Each structure stands twice: as C-alpha cells, then as structure tokens.
Chain A
Amino acid sequence: MIRFRMDVPGELEAKMDEVITHYPVKRSAVLPLLHLVQQHFRHINDAAVTWVANKLGLEPIQVLEVVTFYPGFRQSAPGKYHIRVCRTLSCAMAGSYELMESLCKTANIDRSHVDHHHPIAVSPDGKYSIEFAECLASCGTGPVCMVEDDFHEAVAPEKAAELLGKYQ
C-alpha cells in the first residue's frame, strides 16, 4: 500500500473541524475542505485526497471524483499568481481571446499543450499561470479576468502588462 504523507498545520485543521460542524452529514464538507486544502497548498495532490477522505470517513475515490469533476479544483501546481480569463460569449465579443493572447505573450506563457483535462499553463519562471474560465458573470463589463481572488473588469488586451505589473 502506498502511504501518503501530508503535514496539515493545526490552524488549518481547526478551520476544517469548524466547517464540518456546518453540516448534518459529514460528506457535505468535501468541497469546503478541498477549498481549504487548495488555498493552503495551492493545489490538491493524491496525498491531500487521501487525507481529506480519512478526515471525513470516506473512500479516497469519493474525494477524487469530486476533485476531477470541478474546474475550480487543480491537481497540479499553478504559478505564484493564477489568472482566469472569461472565455464566454459577451467577454469574447469584447475581446477576451485577445486579452488571453496578450497576457500569455507578456508573461511568456505557452498554451499550446492545453486541453480539456489540462487547462492550466504556467510561465517558465513559475510566476504566473493562466486558464480560460467559463462565464464569470460580469458580461456588461467585459473582458473580465480574475488574478487569484481579485476581479478585474474591462481589461483591454493592451493593458495586460499593466495588470501583471500589479502582481510581482
């Protein structure tokens, strides 16, 4: 049996224990726990899947199937700053594909290997990673993108360098 090691700080585990109390059924805490894991470790690896499963009394597959379904969970490490560009219609009409191109060019990111199962591309220096997101629900102010938890509206493609400059 492969044994996974994972060091979860006491403070993080305390947060998880609190979240578990929000639900009458422990399994409901899968998503919130995975969010906490991802916030702390930046992505969710196999060790984390097993750890969360043990924590909630589930089989690892019951956690893994959740991780692999939701686009919001990552199984590989992103860059220091993770960028999500809205791809869907209103933003695309406002120039989100051009924004994506411009951000990639500025951050020296190659997206040629990107596919449905590997949506994230990382810059060679590990500073930025990027992916397209589906509708970020701000269609009136496109093109929009998120850098980490920050939301940016009406980001013209020529403003890519200015935007990335804020995240060093």
Chain B
Amino acid sequence: MSVESVQYLPGKQPHARERRLTFRNVDRAGFDPSIECYLRDGGYEQLHKAVTMERQAIINEVKASGLRGRGGAGFPTGVKWGFIPPTNTKPVYLICNADESEPGTFKDRYIMHQDPHQLVEGMVISCFAVKASLAYIYIREEFPEAAKILEKALDEARAKNFLGKNILGSGYDLEIYIHRGAGAYICGEETGLIESLEGKRPYPRIKPPYFPAALGLYMCPTIVNNVESLCHVKHIIAMGGAEYAKLGTPNNTGTRILCVSGDVQRPGYFEVEVGKVTMGEVINDMCGGMKSGRTLKAIIPGGSSAKVLRADEKFKLKDGRELGIMDIPMDFDTMAACGSMAGSGGVIIMDDSRSMSWVLNNLNAFYAHESCGQCTPCREGSLWMKKISDRIVAGNASPSDVDELERLANNIEGRTICAFGEACSWPTQSFVQKFREEMKAGTKSEIEDRIVAGETELAAAGLVG
C-alpha cells in the first residue's frame, strides 16, 4: 500500500513536509490497534523476512541505516547491538524503554496506543537479531491504557506465533512481558531502568561498563532501546539499511518525530526527515506560527534537559556558516554545534510573555523531584537550585543568587554517576547565561538585602522595634 492511499482522520492530516514511517498509522482513518487490522496492512511481513535472514545481516542493515537512538542520547543503534561480547554464553535480554518522561516529549504514547503491533514487530525482529529469548517493555506507570493495549497486542501476537516457541518455524523462541514502572523519571536512564526491573531502587550503575550490552539485566548482556528506535528497525528491514540511510541527512539519517509544545498556534507531533526541516519551518509552517500578537523569546529544542536557545542568538558553525535560531536544521549534529541537543525531539516554544525565571524554576522543581539521590552533587545541588530559583521567582533573591545558581550547576555537571547531573545542570547554566540580566532585574539589591538581614538580626536580639 503506498503512502498516498493512506487516509487520515479529519483535521489530523499530516503536514505536507512530513514523512511518516513510524507514525504512518497514527490518526489514520479506519486503522485500529488489532492484529487483524495490522495484518491487512502488511503487518509482520518484515518479521517473516527477518527470520530467514542471518542475524549478523540484520545487525549490518541496522548499522548501515545509520539509525541513531531516538530516546535522547542519539547513539547509533546498530553499534549498540554490536557491543554484546562475541564470546558471550549468557542469556541476552532486550528491553524496550517505554518510560517516556522527558518533559516536552510525547511520541511513544501515540505509537503504543494506536499502532502497538508495529512496536511488537520491531521488537521481535530486534530480539531475533541480538539472540534475546526474553524481553521486557518497561512502560511508565502513568500509561495504564497503553500497558493494556500492549498486553492485548502481545497476546494476539502469541496466538499467531509471532511470539512464543519456534516463531514462524524458525526454531527461535521469544517471550515479551510488560513491566510497569512507578513514576520515576530516572528509570529512563538505562542502567537505572535495569535496576528497577531487578526490583530495586533505580539507582543508575557506575560506569564502566558504559553499555548494558556488556553487563546489564541480571549481569547479562542487555540491549535497551527506545520505542521509536525499535519501530524504525521494522522499516529498515523493509527498505534495506542503505535505502533507509538516504532519508534525512548524512550521519543524521531516517525520520524522527518532533513533539512541539508551548506558545505556538498548533502544537503537535510531526514526523520529518532528520535535518530536512529548519526550526523556522517547524514553528511557522507546521505549527502555524506564534500565538497572535506574540514574538518568540526562547526555545528548548530537545526535551527539558537540552540547553535553551535565545531567539536573537547567532550560532557560528565550524564550516563558517552563521545560523539564526530559525535557520537551524532539526538534526542531531547541527543542534549540538549550536550548543544544545536534539535529544528526545521535544521542542518547547516560549514567547515574550514568559518569565525565564519562572520557566527555569519549573524545570528546577522537576529535577529536584526526580534526582534519585545517589550522588551528592546532584541530590543536594538540584534541590538547592530549586530553592534559589524559588527565591528569584518570589522576588526575594539577591543578584548574586543568580550567579550562585550557575556556580552550583557547574559543580554538578560531570560529577555524577549518570547523565542526570548534566540534565539538571544544563537548563540552569543556559538560562542563566542567556537571560542573566532578566533574572537579575527581578532581584533585590545586595545592600537592601543586607539591611533587611541586619534589621532582622537586631530585632531578634531585641535591640530594635
């Protein structure tokens, strides 16, 4: 069935600039999550094909596709798979990371709700490739409906022998179970997720080993991939790695889902070829521009942990190009060159009505709440940053508090077991660096502060009023 023949629900038509692969069936008219519907649409054909392939050939296709993980770090999926020690004799596990919880990100929810079999098919192919015979979907607790839909999808797949013993006569056995989290953001970190799946507090593990492919679940080789990444595997098998790599731009191949929220006319999700649309096209063409009468102030381009971009910034690239914020192509490498990251694809747009102190405070409250508490700089620092930004928002801070915020963030980054340290310090660093004057403007002067403090002290000692 060609893409053109796919009809979408009224008002839910994909934008002309979109290229729908993993979101092909999202909001599609007449499409439902049942296996019958999926099979009518050519479902599980790629699994039939994959089980006749050599395992290494599948891994090679995924490597050739250039697919980079869609969960946030953007690490090449095929390379990750290749980290399983060749001499391994232990069981291999695969875990689908469906703990979608990076603020600003809302893509996996739609795949699981509307097209669960795409994920199951992608997962079974991936498990076959890495020789996993037991796999889990670690899904966040706040997705109870998605968990039920996936549970049903797995039962349906089992009944059709796409799962279970001797899948499609290939001699390959696989079982997939749903494992529900319990509301902790840190479970999105892959080693934290593994600890959680082992029934413990999700304290991320000390690196090295850097990849659970070496030592993961139950100290066995384990592959952890995001929902969207696993769905792409199905399309890579369908198209072939080389053909897939023609989508997008070099080193930033394929399609990805951008989730846009905040102060635009039409927030939403858009699946685009990586790097083929610019930030300006996303905001003005796809999202209908800023809310009326408002102008752009700042953008968080890749989930809340990504460094904020200021509307009037100019970004100098190594090749000599200078980009304005609207010219940035939505890919991994350019976004990194502009000092931020494409991360999870969650784009949060803020207009001139927003106080940057208030925005940062909201994010600091998130990170203070979600720090697992294992490493001192992050546990203490994230809460401290929240308390200072509370003061700034309340108008009780001194100007030096703003600088103190940055100093604190600088002392967390790079000093923690997992990347949460960076995730919680990057917003503070970037907001303070780019909006320092605005944040200081809402504070009291140092002198006034000291007078107040002095008077309080004197009053406490009973010396004045």
Query: Residues of A at under 8 Å CB distance from B?
Result: 22, 24-25, 27-32, 34-35, 56, 62, 65-66, 69-73, 84, 87-90, 92-93, 116, 133-142, 146, 149, 151
Which of A22, A72, A89 meets B103, CB within 8 Å?
A: A89
Residues of B close to A142: CB separation below 8 A:
261
Q: Are B366 and A137 in contact (CB under 8 A)?
A: no
B201 at the interface (CB under 8 A from A): yes
Tell me the count of chain B residues lying within 8 A, CB to CB, of chain A: 55
Q: Are A89 and B362 in contact (CB under 8 A)?
A: yes
Q: Are A27 and B183 in contact (CB under 8 A)?
A: no
In the complex, 12 of the A-B residue pairs with CB atoms within 8 angstroms, ordered by the A residue number, are A24-B91, A27-B198, A31-B179, A31-B196, A35-B180, A62-B200, A66-B182, A71-B184, A88-B304, A89-B366, A135-B104, A151-B145
Q: Are A31 and B199 in contact (CB under 8 A)?
A: yes
Q: Which residue of B lies closest to A97 (CB)?
A: B362
Q: Which residue of A lies closest to B269 (CB)?
A: A140
B354 at the interface (CB under 8 A from A): yes
B100 at the interface (CB under 8 A from A): yes
Which of A24, A116, A134, A140 meets B261, CB within 8 Å?
A: A140
Q: Are A89 and B183 in contact (CB under 8 A)?
A: no
Q: How far is the CB of A136 from chain B (nearest CB, A)?
A: 5
Which of A25, A30, A34, A88 meets B366, CB within 8 Å?
A: A88
Q: Are B184 and A69 in contact (CB under 8 A)?
A: yes
Q: How far is the CB of B140 from chain A (nearest CB, A)?
A: 7
Q: Are A139 and B348 in contact (CB under 8 A)?
A: yes
Q: Which residue of B lies closest to A135 (CB)?
A: B103
B197 at the interface (CB under 8 A from A): yes
Which of A27, A69, A140 meets B260, CB within 8 Å?
A: A140
Q: How far is the CB of A111 from chain B (nearest CB, A)?
A: 15
Q: Are A28 and B197 in contact (CB under 8 A)?
A: yes
Q: Are B362 and A88 in contact (CB under 8 A)?
A: yes
A138-B112 Cα distance, complex, nearest whole Å: 13
Q: Mark B320-363, 1 if CB is under 8 A from A, else 0.
A: 00000000000000000000000000101010001000010011
Q: Which residue of B lies closest to A27 (CB)?
A: B199
Residues of A close to B118: CB separation below 8 A:
none
A84-B141 Cα distance, complex, nearest whole Å: 12
A141-B134 Cα distance, complex, nearest whole Å: 36
Q: Mark B262-298, 1 if CB is under 8 A from A, else 0.
A: 1100011100000000000000000000000000000
A142-B105 Cα distance, complex, nearest whole Å: 12
Chain B positions 376-405 with a Cβ under 8 Å from a chain A Cβ = none
A137-B304 Cα distance, complex, nearest whole Å: 12
A88-B427 Cα distance, complex, nearest whole Å: 14
Residues of B close to A116: CB separation below 8 A:
369
Q: Known contacts A22-B177, A66-B199, A69-B201; is A87 also within 8 Å of B346 by CB?
A: no
A142-B262 Cα distance, complex, nearest whole Å: 9
Which of B143, B182, B304 meets A89, CB within 8 Å?
A: B304
Closest 3 CB pairs of A and B: A72-B182, A72-B183, A70-B182
Q: Which residue of B lies closest to A67 (CB)?
A: B182
Q: Which residue of A lies closest to B369 (CB)?
A: A134
A65-B199 Cα distance, complex, nearest whole Å: 10
Q: Known contacts A69-B202, A90-B103, A90-B348; is A84 also within 8 Å of B142 by CB?
A: yes
B218 at the interface (CB under 8 A from A): yes
B365 at the interface (CB under 8 A from A): yes
B109 at the interface (CB under 8 A from A): yes
Residues of A close to B260: CB separation below 8 A:
140
A89-B142 Cα distance, complex, nearest whole Å: 17
Q: Are A137 and B142 in contact (CB under 8 A)?
A: yes
Residues of A close to B184: CB separation below 8 A:
69-72
Residues of A close to B197: CB separation below 8 A:
28
6 further interface pairs, Cβ-Cβ under 8 Å (given A71-B182, A139-B104) = A90-B348, A135-B185, A137-B100, A137-B108, A142-B261, A149-B144
